[in-house]
Amino acid sequence: MTPATLFLHADAALREVIDQLDPADFSAPVPQEWSQLESLTLLGILGRHAYDEAWIPDVLAGRAAADGDPYADVDLLGDDPIASYDALNDTATAALRSGDIAETFRFTYGDYPAAEGFAHLATYRAFQAYSIAKHFGIPFHLSTDLVAGFNEHVTPHADEWRQWGVFPPAIEPPADADDETRLLCTLGFWQP
């Protein structure tokens, strides 16, 4: 699996979870470790994902927030937050499929080769999908393709990225752990 395909799978996983959100839960608090925002709610985290998704075409084109942030202080969710997120997701997917990808992705925390940048983007999406689903009782599993892609492109960097605060400490997997559970334990995200 290419890093770009890993990103597409992770982006689709997050959308799968977002599409199952109950708007009645939008005001519900979410764990503080999900974001550095204060008074974090599910709607707030959805807004952060909308912002991140809006940036994908720019990131793929090699632009960065340092060049100007057209999405700052913009209501990206509107009156129908889930549909608005889906529209941003469609635009991001189309941008990737256009094939015009910069060699370097310029994130707020540094510049990375596109292959590694795709792994960063995929990691954020997939494990937020898992965490949101667990927190709100949404049926969800990482696909076998996504698990394989993470084992190929992310797991080899787990200890290094853990030192940067990307991953929590690894968890000892249960004796009967399946591939998804082993991955989640390796990256510190598994919840029984």
Q: Is the dihedral of CA 37, 41, 47, 48 positive or negative?
A: positive
Pull the structure tokens for residue 171.
Answer: 């968890």
Mean of pLDDT over the chain: 92
Stated pTM of the model = 0.92
120 torsion bin: left (phi>0), alpha (psi -120 to 50), beta (else): alpha
Give the pLDDT of residue 78. Answer: 95
Give the pLDDT of residue 38. Answer: 65
Q: Is the dihedral of CA 60, 62, 64, 67 positive or negative?
A: negative
Give the pLDDT of residue 146. Answer: 96
Q: Spell out, as residue ranges, where the chain has pLDDT lower than 50.
A: none
Beta strands in 13-124 (DSSP E): 104-107, 110-113
Angle at 92 between CA 161 and CA 96, to 5 degrees: 80
Give the pLDDT of residue 99. Answer: 86
**CATH domain 3-153 topology:** Four Helix Bundle (Hemerythrin (Met), subunit A) (1.20.120)
